[in-house]
Amino acid sequence: MNIQQIPQHELARLREKAKEQAGSQFEYQEYYTKLLTRRLNGEPLQYIEEYIPFYSIQINVDERCLIPRPETEYLIEIIKNNIDSPKNILDVGTGTGCIALMLKKLYKESNVEAVDISEQALELAKENARINDLDVTFTVSNLLENVEKNNYDIVVANLPYIPTETLQNLDNEVINYEPIIALDGGPDGLIYINELIKQIEENDFKNLTLFLEVDSSHAKTIIENLNHWKDVKLEKDLVDRDRYIIAKR
Ligand SMILES: C[S@@+](CC[C@H](N)C(=O)[O-])C[C@H]1O[C@@H](n2cnc3c(N)ncnc32)[C@H](O)[C@@H]1O
């Protein structure tokens, strides 16, 4: 990347970040050059800025976690439109904690739990809980392995769904910086989503609504896999792609 390829609004944001950090004009130049160099090397702007707005909270981001995407903000909207007052919520593959924390903010009375296989991700999620003063229980778990209860009203998951073979086609910004564990969905991209559905059934989770964020190309297969669930619905994202699956059992 060269400086001409960086849009003006990004340069303005890098200047603001340098101003925030610098105590003098000399320091400003030094910080700005460092930040610009990181961007020129292809590092995502959000990691350089260190935080992003997510729905109505602020989320710190760094290389321990996937950068939450706008589609996931819209998932919050979908949940809000479907569920009034859940008592127990579980977020599987929480990453920065964005979904779990935002749901806690919306449903103040609810008990929100979140799991991730990555201890590093959970450190950041806990940091985000502190910053936002939101009480969510975070547990290290391979899907539902360390989840002891099965009485959730909502189970939500945005799990890795990129087929391993196509990881190499991702933008350099993504593949060189975001954690592979947050992207790689196994040979067909479906191993985690299918395994989660299986574990929910085996652990006899009942009276719950499942919300999945999925790749549009996987939607049909996942819906087939949920054929014995109730009220299975597919919702589109803001650019009209099949993106969210809602199902009850
Ligand atoms: C696509 S990222 C989504 C992060 C966050 N929920 C969001 O929407 O921005 C997937 C997350 O799932 C986690 N993950 C991957 N495999 C997992 C597993 N077997 N059990 C639990 N979490 C897993 C990753 O560490 C990562 O944080």
Task: Please state the pTM of the whole predicted model.
Answer: 0.96
Q: Which domain holds residue 188?
A: 64-248
Any idea what DSSP says for residue 183?
Answer: T
Q: Is residue 118 part of a domain?
A: yes
Same domain? For 36 and 68 the reply is no
128 lines ligand 1 (CB under 6 A): no
Atom of ligand 1 nearest to the CA of 195: 19
One-letter-per-residue 3-state SS of 68-108: CCHHHHHHHHHHHHHCCCCCEEEEECCCCCHHHHHHHHHCC
Q: Are strands 137-140 and 154-157 parallel, antiparallel or unpaired?
A: unpaired
Side chain identity, residue 243: R
What CATH number is attached to the domain comprising 133? 3.40.50.150
Q: How far is CA 186 from the centre of its chain?
A: 18
Same domain? For 115 and 194 the reply is yes
pLDDT of residue 78: 97
Q: 94 CA to middle of ligand 1, Å?
A: 6
Any idea what DSSP says for residue 32?
Answer: H
Q: Is residue 52 part of a domain?
A: no
Same domain? For 74 and 112 the reply is yes
Same domain? For 149 and 98 the reply is yes
pLDDT of residue 180: 96
pLDDT in tens, 130-180: 999 999 999 999 999 999 999 999 999 999 999 999 999 999 999 999 999
Q: Is residue 46 part of a domain?
A: no
Q: Is residue 47 part of a domain?
A: no
Same domain? For 95 and 146 the reply is yes
**Could you give the number of structural domains in the chain?**
2
Side chain identity, residue 107: Y
Q: 97 CA to middle of ligand 1, Å?
A: 10
Check if the beta carbon of residue 212 is closer than 8 Å to that of residue 219: no
pLDDT of residue 4: 87
144 lines ligand 1 (CB under 6 A): no
Which residues are within 8 A (CB) of 63 and not within 5 positions of it... i.e. 6 or more apart? Answer: 47, 177, 178, 179
Q: Which residues of the chain have pLDDT under 50?
A: none
Same domain? For 115 and 32 the reply is no
99 lines ligand 1 (CB under 6 A): yes
Same domain? For 127 and 223 the reply is yes
Closest CA to 54 of 137, 109, 128: 128
Structure token digits, residue 237 = 């994202």
Same domain? For 33 and 154 the reply is no
Which one of 59, 64, 117, 164 would you pick to mutate in the ligand 1 pocket, going by the greatest count of ligand atoms within 8 A of its CB?
A: 117
Distances (CA, A) of 164 to 161, 173, 177, 184: 9, 17, 16, 6
